[in-house]
Structure formats: structure tokens, C-alpha cells
Structure 1
């Protein structure tokens, strides 16, 4: 679970920077405290679903965009075992 929390935080930071936004700007757009955002991005806070929803809406992305790359390696590995 800790890996997922850190991964989502890192992806959130990537997407925020892709938008050219600071944590302060994301805070303004989402209504979430900038220190909360900083903690999430560092993987130090387990984000709530409500905050997750507010952040992805502010960034204009789907939940899929934040978590898919965490799961792909697991599925690719399982798939490769299936075809071995």
C-alpha cells in the first residue's frame, strides 16, 4: 500500500508540473490546502477519495491516469507468464 501512496503522489506531482502549476495553484483550483498537497506528493499522506476527486477534477484528468502505470507492470508480468 505504501508503494501505491508514493506512486500516486509522484504522478500527481508530474501531472501538476505538466500543467505548469505550483502547489499553490493546484490548491486554489482544487480548494485543498497546499501543505496537504505537498504531503500527498511526497507520499507522506494517504489521500482521501474526496481529495483525490477534487485534485483530478482540478487537473482535468481521470483516476485512470493517476494509477494505471502502477498496475501495468503487474499485468504485463502475469500476461508474460500466461504465454510462456
Structure 2
């Protein structure tokens, strides 16, 4: 697996724990399928679209670059709900 996707999965897991969310709760907030999100966080996706990274970041009130930077982003907050998309459903 690509190290950047592993790092993204780790970052998402850390943020989810910081905010006390389950994978299912976060997937619902982000407007993506639960199994799809599980695969991202678990490192089972070989590639994901930039729009998916943007959607994941937006669910925490962040920009994509903030989610991907080496240090844990400060000031993240859980969005009420990100607009849904059929593309991100599984």
C-alpha cells in the first residue's frame, strides 16, 4: 500500500478518535458509504480521488491540504453533514 494512503487512514482514525465518532457516524457526516470509509481508514483502498479527500477534510472543517500535512491539524470540528454524492457510495 502507498505510504500516503496509510498515513491518510491513520490521520482519519486519529481525528475520529479525537471527536469521539464511530466509523459509521463519520461516514454519515461525510456523506460517504460506511464500507467505503472503512476501506479508506483500514488502508484497503489502492487509490482515492482528490474530491474524496476534500469531502473527508470538509467533514472536519478542514481543507484537503490540512488533512494531508505531516502534523495533526489544530482546530478541527465536526461538520453537521457534508453534501452527499453517489460517487462516494459503494
TM-score exceeds 0.5: yes
CA distance in 2, matches of 1:37, 1:47: 11
Matched, 1:42 2:42: yes
Relative to the length of structure 1, the TM-score reads 0.72
Q: Could you say which residue in structure 1 is the equivalent of 2:68?
A: 67
Q: Distance in 2 between matches of 1:55 and 1:67?
A: 11
Per the alignment, residue 80 of structure 1 pairs with none
Point out where structure 1 has 5 or more consecutive residues left out of the alignment: 71-84
**Structure 2 portions without partners, runs of 5+:** 72-90
Tell me the equivalent position of 1:73.
none
RMSD (Å) for aligned C-alpha atoms: 1.8
Q: CA deviation at 1:11?
A: 0.4
* Corresponding residue of 1:25: 25
Larger Rg: 1
What is the aligned partner in structure 1 of residue 14 from structure 2? 14
Q: Where does structure 1 differ by over 4 angstroms across 4 or more consecutive aligned residues?
A: none
Structure-2-length-normalised TM-score: 0.68
